Structure 1
Amino acid sequence: MTGRRILSVWWPFLPIERWQRLSGASPDTTVALVEEAQHGQRIVAVTTAAAAGGAHPGMRLTDARTLFPALAAVPADTAGDAALVERLARWAGRWSPLVEVDGGDGLRLDVTGTAHLFGGEEALRQEVEARFAAQGLTTRVAIAATAGAAWALARYSRSPRGRSEDDLAPLPVAALRLSPQANHTLHRLGLKTIGALAGVPRRSLARRFREADNPLDALDRALGRTPEPLTALAVEPPPRATLRLAEPVADPAVLGQALAKLADPLARMLAARRLGARRILLTAWRIDGEVGEAGAETSLPTREAAHLVRLLAEKVGSIDPGFGIDAFALTATWCEPLDAAQDALIGEAPRERELARLVDRLTVRLGPGRVQRPEARASHLPERASRWVSGIFSPSRKQEGDERARPARLLDHPEAIGVIYATPEGMPRRFVWRHVVHDIARVEGPERIAPEWWRQPGGTRLRDYYRVEDSKGCRYWIYRDGIAGDGRGGAPDWYVHGLFG
């Protein structure tokens, strides 16, 4: 079978089945999930026993209790239902790399060219139904050439098995996903099925409907006459190596074995695309619908399989195999360009790469907040010109022409010094710092640094920095806070801000 193939998943009772699973309520419970509406509370979902009593979704709670006084009402958890659908969509990535949430009760998967990996379309459909049924969800699945046809067959066909877009004719017009007003108009015209609608001249119907709600346009989309793309972006998926097990395995040792087996294929994929991984993620799909993950980051792009295995080896133990894992994937979720490079002639790896490996392993073991490196910032003030960042990120590069003579050690806070003797120009010749007298032998400067007025309005004065050397050969970075003639008056203050090597 050629052409595009879309798989549609529908959970008709997802809200109430999720509530029953979380609450542990028995199937005989007469409960309705309700939400606030314009004219009072409206029913969102009901249990089987409540449906037998006459309650159904869309009914007002007061009307339902008129028919069934014993009906109990529970607030619907719409946000929780949406979160469950999002999680199931992520879990459905085992069947297709392109998965889209379809409303609040279904999914759409582009399975073009992938069904043969699961034994064909019918085998894939059965597997999807069985997997979700094992999680306690009533599921209907259909596969067709268009998203509209798959949606219609999953929701309105009595048996979606083996159906295609050619079987749309007997379905009701509501299967075209029209608005309630458009469905009502078509019923008044006697057009109750898609087959009846297809035989009507287009011009006679076009003037009765708004352009955005034209049933003929919806029919064209369902039949593939006009395109209906998925809303998910068709981007190139990240490099990913997968492994499927013949039987679920609950032994934690399989985690390390799967990681070792997936690292080499992932490295080859990265090399083929001339990429290096900065973040890798090992995903394990459990048979109960849960997904276990373990990830790590690197300070430099890499595609060395052994290094990737070492980074994740200590983290895979956090994945709980539960009742068994039957599928794995190792994904490079963050990649950067990495061309081929030659190591040193004597066969040793460059020191930068060795340092990056050390930083990676320390970060995995101690945590990203405990391994840090300095990073330059765009500021003239020395105390703001650098900051500490996580060591896992590559150090920033200085711009050309930004090299200034700066001390190897910068004090956390400038420390005041007492000037004993100064030249007529105001430069100290002898000062006291930390109870020690220093005689200045050489001076270089000044370098004037102005305050950042947009950060500290009116609070900081001009600084003149000097590099000085005392009679013992020790070198200091001192500055004068307050310049003569700046309008503030008084003698300037002197501080030590850094020490040269």
Structure 2
Amino acid sequence: MFDGMQRRVVSLWFPRLASDRVLRRRLVNGPFVLTLKQQNANRIYCLNAQAAEQGLHQGMSYADARAFCPALQSCTADPQADMRFLHILRRWATRYCPWVGMEGEDGLVLDVTGSAHLFGGEEAMLADMRGRFARAGLWVQIGLGDTRGAAWALARYNEGVAASGNMLTALKSLPVAALRLDEKTSVALQRMGLRKIGTLAAAPRAPLTRRFGPGLLLRLDQALGAQPEAITPLSDPPHYAVRMTLPDSIGLLSDVMAGTERLLAQLCTKLKAQEMGARKLCMTLRRVDQDCQQVELRLARPLRDPQRILSLFERGLGEIDAGFGIDQMRLEATGVEALPVQQISHVSDHSKSRLDDLITRLGTRVGLENIQRFLPADSHIPEHSFIIAAAAYSNPSSGWSILNPRPLYLFPPEPIAATGPHPPARFRWRRMSLTTGHATGPERIAPEWWHQDESWRSGLRDYWRVETTQGRRLWLFYTPQNPGWFVQGEFA
């Protein structure tokens, strides 16, 4: 805040932020709404101007909206994407002033004290804002006043600029809801005849405090400037990158590794301060001829241990063409994940760390996505009892929770010639004549009706573990509803 300078605050309200964000990429002519499931019904979350002209409003049932407007077009809302878009707008708004904060889920607040003259005055600055938002396809309402509360009220109830000085003159004709009151308090004040801010400001304060508490008069005083209200700007997310400019060019692998070690120590210090770990690292090496070489390292687990990461970098750095020498090194963690501090125990298990490092080394050659593991799935159907996931993006499971053993090798069912509900004494499988020595079962498995699996359309299956005299231990099943025998697996 500048000494002796009147504070000035701008409030930006985007009443159609969600629909404007979608319509920026999707051309729609006519009424358009975004829907979201609320209270067990699909309701309008946001709508464009054409939909509002048809009498539709936020919170309206989508079925009722289609009845009013048969030509209505819709799309599913994404509140998280809307919030990310608002954060982008917040960062863009720092071109007007450094102090930019969030105002709910659809607004921004800017402390433009001392910065309006850089754009030719307040009116010129607001005109520049409106022009840029209009070209971006965003509908915005702007309010400017001495306080955050006054700017908020003007943006939402009477778009305009309040002259510096007495805020009561600019706000007295606005409804009491413009003081950022909850609906219950606003309705109660209207029933008492206090519908305007000017009327509320002239009313005795003691009875209002006894009935509504101190919050009502605090909002009034904040809007009029009698009580201060801070604007807290959001800080930009941490940038995990370090750089080193060398006085003399280098080209030996040992020198590059030494520089990488120093950069990793600085980067891991930043990561540790934020309790984050790197999942993807990019080393950029600038040569003296201004050409750049890059080495990317993708880790199987988030790490911030400089020594472990350094050894994983060695293979990629060894393939760099240093040319006439390298004079600058830049290391950036382009992908990070949370890595909270953990309690250190006297019993340490290094096997998991060694496995993660092995996956990382193999991933640099074949790709992390191509190193996969089997994980148990919640299904008693043999074909559905496991899933295949990338080892770098999943954790190993303790094992399958099953009552009966399962074969080590599982393959599509192969029919054999046999009849009757009990395992055959002799049968041929894969051109081999086999004799049943011992059979255990049956284990009856019913199909899952919620899965449309063609291979299980035959109905129930009775599984048997059959040990043959030739040494084969097979998994056979019989289908009672469509009599037949099949081999589906083999035990080790």
TM-score normalized with structure 2 length: 0.51
Structure 2 vs 1, CA of residues 277 and 446 (structure 1 numbering), >3 Å: closer, same or farther? Answer: farther
Structure 2 vs 1, CA of residues 338 and 359 (structure 1 numbering), >3 Å: closer, same or farther? Answer: farther
Secondary structure of the equivalent of 1:101? helix
2:466 is the alignment partner of 1:468: yes
Structure 2 vs 1, CA of residues 408 and 341 (structure 1 numbering), >3 Å: closer, same or farther? Answer: farther
Secondary structure of the equivalent of 1:495? strand
2:333 is the alignment partner of 1:307: no
Shift of 1:388: 2.4
2:389 is the alignment partner of 1:417: no
Distance in 1 (alpha carbons) for counterparts of 2:333 and 2:173: 54
Report the counterpart of residue 445 of structure 1 in structure 2. Answer: 441
Please give the residue correspondences for 1:28-39 in structure 2 after superposition, counting only pairs within 5 Å.
none
Structure 2 vs 1, CA of residues 372 and 196 (structure 1 numbering), >3 Å: closer, same or farther? Answer: closer
Report the counterpart of residue 187 of structure 1 in structure 2. Answer: none
2:231 is the alignment partner of 1:228: yes
Q: After superposition, what is the alpha-carbon deviation per residue over 1:51-98, rounded to whole angstroms, capped at 9, x for unaligned?
A: xxxxxxxxxxxxxxxxxxxxxxxxxxxxxxxxxxxxxxxxxxxxxxx9
Please give the residue correspondences for 1:426-437 in structure 2 after superposition, counting only pairs within 5 Å.
426-437=422-433
Shift of 1:439: 0.7
Secondary structure of the equivalent of 2:339? strand
Report the counterpart of residue 339 of structure 1 in structure 2. Answer: 342
Which amino acid in structure 1 is aligned with residue 415 of structure 2? A
Report the counterpart of residue 149 of structure 1 in structure 2. Answer: 113
Shift of 1:248: 12
Please give the residue correspondences for 1:56-67 in structure 2 after superposition, counting only pairs within 5 Å.
none
Report the counterpart of residue 264 of structure 1 in structure 2. Answer: 265
Shift of 1:378: 2.2
Which amino acid in structure 2 is aligned with residue 339 of structure 1? Q
Structure 2 vs 1, CA of residues 283 and 462 (structure 1 numbering), >3 Å: closer, same or farther? Answer: same
Which amino acid in structure 1 is aligned with residue 446 of structure 2? A
Distance in 1 (alpha carbons) for counterparts of 2:449 and 2:330: 59
Which amino acid in structure 1 is aligned with residue 263 of structure 2? L
Structure 2 vs 1, CA of residues 152 and 235 (structure 1 numbering), >3 Å: closer, same or farther? Answer: closer
Distance in 2 (alpha carbons) for counterparts of 1:2 and 1:243: 36
Please give the residue correspondences for 1:85-484 in structure 2 after superposition, counting only pairs within 5 Å.
100-103=90-93, 106=95, 147-149=111-113, 152-156=116-120, 171-175=121-125, 197-199=163-165, 201-207=166-172, 225-230=228-233, 232=234, 237=238, 240=240, 242-243=242-243, 245=245, 258-268=259-269, 277=277, 279-282=279-282, 295-314=296-315, 328-330=331-333, 333-337=336-340, 339=342, 341=344, 350-398=350-398, 401-402=401-402, 404-411=404-411, 413-419=412-418, 425-456=421-452, 459-480=457-478, 482-483=479-480
Distance in 2 (alpha carbons) for counterparts of 1:415 and 1:360: 39
Q: After superposition, what is the alpha-carbon deviation per residue over 1:359-398, rounded to whole angstroms, capped at 9, x for unaligned?
A: 1111122112332222222222212222322221233425
Please give the residue correspondences for 1:50-61 in structure 2 after superposition, counting only pairs within 5 Å.
none
In structure 1, stretches of 5+ residues that fail to align are 4-35, 39-97, 112-145, 157-170, 185-194
Distance in 2 (alpha carbons) for counterparts of 1:329 and 1:229: 29
Shift of 1:468: 1.2
Report the counterpart of residue 498 of structure 1 in structure 2. Answer: 489
Secondary structure of the equivalent of 1:428? coil
Seq. identity, %: 22
Structure 2 vs 1, CA of residues 227 and 416 (structure 1 numbering), >3 Å: closer, same or farther? Answer: same
Q: Is the 8 A contact 2:282 2:334 kept in 1?
A: yes
Distance in 2 (alpha carbons) for counterparts of 1:415 and 1:372: 27
Structure 2 vs 1, CA of residues 154 and 343 (structure 1 numbering), >3 Å: closer, same or farther? Answer: farther
Structure 2 vs 1, CA of residues 267 and 228 (structure 1 numbering), >3 Å: closer, same or farther? Answer: closer
Q: Is the 8 A contact 1:343 1:350 kept in 2?
A: no
